[in-house]
Amino acid sequence: MKKLLIVLIFFFSCTTYSQTAEEYFGKGIKKYNKGDFNGAIADYTKAIEIDSDYEGFYINRGAAKYKLKNFSGAIADYSKAIQLDPNNGKIYYNRGFPKGMLEDYEGSCEDFNKALEFGMKFKKKDKKMIFNYCEIVD
């Protein structure tokens, strides 16, 4: 009986204190905003392990990877987010930048054009550079 009680206490304490994907996501956002991009990636990854069907986790992890100049990793996360939400222009917009950093200029411009197709409005600071470089269909 004692062993059963100990097992039950351990089981309930583990399930009671486990964090949700949203909690990890929130922690990741806080770490990202403080410049702790590695910590943010770790928390976003934990969120993805719990719920791999929410594109926001991949978008934010991609942004953190971009900040660390892990451009291939950022592209992979943005690509997964696009699989989950293919009509979200912001994801294409975000993916265009790491593609450009890896000198995939054609792919970068394709993503920027796709972002426009979905109604994305470019940030003023980026708009001139993008429009000058790419043949934007606006």
Q: Which domains does the chain have, with CATH numbers?
A: 18-133 (1.25.40.10)
Report how far residue 119's alpha carbon sits from residue 28's, in angstroms, rounded to the nearest whole number.
28
Q: How much is the pLDDT for 17?
A: 60
The residue ranges of the chain whose pLDDT is under 70 are: 1-17, 135-138
Contact 137, 112 (CB under 8 A): no
Q: pLDDT (tens digit, 9 = 90+) per residue, 18-53?
A: 899 999 999 999 999 999 999 999 999 999 999 999
Q: How much is the pLDDT for 7?
A: 44
Contact 25, 3 (CB under 8 A): no
pTM for the model stands at 0.83
Q: Count of alpha carbons within 13 Å of 61, Cβ hemisphere only?
A: 26
Q: How much is the pLDDT for 16?
A: 44
